[in-house]
């Protein structure tokens, strides 16, 4: 069983560094949420069809696949810090070009490039936070990545809505929308320069002294520094082979299958439909007011903050169960409501309130569970030798299924009825409950090195979050 640990107070420096490191999540959210309240303006400026709009939305994810593919190699060769700096620079440059409103082909290429930067950040930020945060607050600090994603989605939704309200749907408004991303991109770029490097990466490169210095600045006492440094050294001493040799290990394939499935399910429970297309979908039932448009991104952000405390108090797995059940029920209810809407000419006030309330509860379910916890578990379960490779593959899977969802949702609804997609996502929520029961471990309060020991001893994946015996 797990051992309880006394609560430790860490210096503000730890939290500031983790917050700066998580700015990659902010840019992730800005680019992911950009479409929701800008698509109609983009359509107005560039005169797009539904299919072209879907393609422009989804191309971010296809770039994310490519970015994730190379992020493991870059992170290992250059270090976590330099990769974050490069991502911040790419965000700034490509957003600036987009703000000039080039021809649509070049605009699409810029979004693809932003997707590459987002893919790199979506791999590197969780890895950096997991490797830099103290064990006792690793869960809370690692969820900063997802929190910053939701903050980014909220900020871009809020600014886009009010830019359109003030200036209308025209080229000037679209330029301002991109300039908002430029501002925050520069913030990440500058902030990443002052970050320390991951102590695990420094030890991996043979720079023990620098790793010791970083740990001394980020841990509460000398004993904690020495213990963690020794755990890192022991782990690395058992992982001297090439990272590709991990592919010969059965335990790596077992844990990889869990990570892949978690990332698949994170997308197949329907979150990107709700984030990217909620204003469009709500417009089908005449819900176009500011309250309706901003409800999803605002509550998506607010509901994620409590996870910082809940994830260490309740654990990862309990939150995932709660989220799956909530999302399954609300997605099914949304489907029923759209069947009802198809039978009447004009939705009444009561029925639209039910739909909005159901969507809000769905967002709560995702924000406190599969949103932050999936990325956290994927950053914790892989052994050091295969951590970059494992996270690269799982991040690619996340972006691949994100692109599939974003590139097909509206067409699927058009071909099969607006209700159909909600029932499909509800089914995947149900499937996730069974998957959690059989395969997913609880990793609360145990070091990455002890998780690795359990994995190599052949424990079932769902049991690798227990402290090793003996």
Task: List pLDDT tens digits, range 55-96.
Answer: 888 898 899 889 888 887 888 889 889 999 999 999 999 999
User: Do residues 241 and 389 make contact, with C-beta atoms less than 8 angstroms apart?
Assistant: no
Nearest-angstrom CA–CA distance, 129 and 131: 5
317-344: per-residue pLDDT in tens?
999 999 999 999 999 998 998 888 877 7
The residue count for the chain: 470
Query: Is the confidence at residue 6, as pLDDT, over 60?
Result: no
Nearest-angstrom CA–CA distance, 393 and 375: 13
* Per-residue tokens: 368: 């406190």
Pick from 382, 441, 401: nearest CA to 72: 382
Cβ neighbours of residue 140 closer than 8 Å, sequence gap 6 or more = 308, 309, 311, 312
User: Do residues 184 and 158 make contact, with C-beta atoms less than 8 angstroms apart?
Assistant: no
Nearest-angstrom CA–CA distance, 45 and 59: 19
384-402: per-residue pLDDT in tens?
788 878 888 998 898 899 8
Q: Identify the pLDDT of residue 4.
A: 41
3-state secondary structure 177-206: HHHHHHHHHHHHHHHHHCCCCCHHHHHHCC
- Chain centroid to CA 27: how far? 11
119-132: per-residue pLDDT in tens?
888 788 878 887 88
Question: How many C-beta neighbours within 10 Å does residue 66 have?
Answer: 17
Nearest-angstrom CA–CA distance, 76 and 66: 17
Give domain limits for the chain. Answer: 12-463
Please state, rounded to an integer, the average pLDDT across all residues of the chain. 84
pLDDT band at residue 425, thresholds of 50, 70 and 90? very high
Q: Which residue has the tokens 């929190």?
A: 147
* Per-residue tokens: 452: 């690795």
Helix (H) or strand (E) holding 60: helix 50-78
In this structure, which long-range contacts are made by residues 38-45, counting pairs with CB atoms below 8 Å and at least 24 apart in sequence?
A: 38/156, 38/160, 38/174, 38/177, 39/279, 39/280, 40/164, 40/169, 40/279, 41/160, 41/164, 41/169, 41/170, 41/173, 41/174, 41/177, 42/174, 44/169, 44/170, 45/101, 45/169, 45/170, 45/171, 45/174
pTM of the entire structure?
A: 0.74
* Per-residue tokens: 165: 């309200």
Query: Is the confidence at residue 424, as pLDDT, over 90?
Result: yes
16-69: per-residue pLDDT in tens?
888 887 888 888 888 877 887 788 888 889 988 878 888 888 898 899 889 888
Q: What is the mean pLDDT of residues 420-449?
A: 91
Query: Is the confidence at residue 5, as pLDDT, over 50?
Result: no
Q: Which residue has the tokens 């991303």?
A: 181
- Chain centroid to CA 136: how far? 22
Chosen CATH of 12-463 out of 1.25.10.10, 1.20.1250.20, 3.30.420.40, 3.40.190.10: 1.20.1250.20
């Amino acid at each position: 069983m797990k051992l309880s640990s006394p609560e430790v107070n860490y210096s503000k420096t730890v939290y500031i560094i983790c917050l700066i490191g998580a700015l990659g999540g902010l840019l992730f959210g800005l680019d992911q949420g950009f479409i929701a309240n800008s698509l109609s303006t983009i359509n107005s400026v560039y005169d797009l069809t539904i299919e072209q709009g879907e393609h422009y939305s989804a191309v971010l994810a296809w770039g994310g696949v490519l970015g994730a593919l190379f992020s493991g190699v870059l992170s290992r060769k250059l270090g976590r810090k330099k990769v974050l700096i490069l991502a911040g620079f790419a965000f700034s440059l490509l957003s600036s070009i987009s703000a000039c409103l080039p021809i649509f082909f070049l605009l699409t290429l810029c979004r693809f490039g932003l997707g590459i930067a987002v893919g790199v950040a979506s791999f590197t930020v969780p890895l950096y936070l997991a490797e830099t945060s103290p064990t006792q607050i690793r869960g809370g600090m690692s969820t900063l990545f997802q929190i910053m994603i939701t903050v980014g989605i909220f900020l871009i939704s809020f600014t886009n809505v009010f830019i359109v309200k003030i200036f209308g749907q025209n080229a000037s408004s679209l330029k301002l929308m991109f300039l908002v991303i430029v501002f925050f991109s520069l913030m990440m770029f500058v902030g990443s320069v002052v970050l320390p490097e991951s102590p695990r990466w420094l030890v991996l490169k043979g720079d023990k002294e620098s790793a010791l210095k970083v740990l001394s600045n980020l841990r509460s006492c000398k004993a904690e520094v020495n213990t963690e440094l020794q755990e890192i050294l022991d782990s690395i001493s058992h992982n001297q082979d090439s990272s590709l040799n991990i592919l010969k290990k059965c335990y790596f394939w077992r844990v990889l299958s869990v990570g892949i499935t978690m990332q698949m399910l994170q997308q197949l429970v329907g979150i990107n439909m709700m984030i990217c297309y909620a204003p469009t979908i709500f417009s089908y039932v005449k819900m176009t007011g500011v309250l309706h448009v901003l409800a999803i991104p605002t509550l998506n952000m607010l509901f994620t903050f409590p996870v910082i405390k809940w994830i260490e108090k309740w654990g990862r797995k309990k939150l995932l169960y709660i989220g799956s059940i909530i999302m399954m029920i609300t997605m099914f209810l949304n489907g029923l409501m759209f069947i009802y809407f198809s039978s009447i000419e004009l939705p009444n006030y009561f029925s639209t309130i039910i739909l909005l309330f159901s969507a809000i509860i769905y967002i709560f379910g995702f924000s406190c569970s599969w949103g932050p916890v999936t990325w956290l578990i994927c950053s914790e379960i892989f052994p050091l030798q295969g951590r970059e490779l494992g996270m690269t593959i799982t991040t690619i899977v996340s972006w691949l299924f994100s692109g599939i969802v974003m590139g097909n949702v509206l067409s699927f609804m058009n071909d099969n009825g607006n209700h159909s997609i909600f029932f499909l996502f509800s089914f995947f929520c149900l499937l996730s409950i069974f998957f959690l029961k059989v395969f997913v471990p609880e990793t609360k309060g145990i070091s990455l090195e002890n998780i690795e020991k359990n994995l190599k001893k052949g424990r079932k994946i769902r049991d690798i979050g227990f402290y090793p015996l003996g």
